[in-house]
Amino acid sequence: MDYTGLARSTIYKYIAEGTFPRPVSLGSRAAAWVESEVQEWILTRIEERDAQSATV
């Protein structure tokens, strides 16, 4: 969550929508994300932003 700047509720909303990488279960009350998957998600957001800027 610190890495993305998103709130926990927003991350889980995006997961439910299928637009954010799913976490890996570490136990009954713990989860983690694969850093490379989150980095790829962020890079995709940057590419989308840049593509929109190029068309304006």
Which 3 state secondary structure label does DSSP give 34?
A: coil
Q: Residue 29 gets which letter from DSSP?
A: T
Residue among 18, 22, 20, 23 nearest 42 (CA):
20
For residue 54, the model assigns a pLDDT of 75
For residue 56, the model assigns a pLDDT of 65
Counting every residue written for the chain, the total comes to: 56
pLDDT tens by residue, 1-56: 688 999 999 999 999 999 999 999 999 999 999 999 999 999 999 999 999 887 76
For residue 5, the model assigns a pLDDT of 93
Residue among 23, 19, 7 nearest 44 (CA):
19
Give me the residues paired with residue 31 across strands: 25
Q: Residue 20 gets which letter from DSSP?
A: S
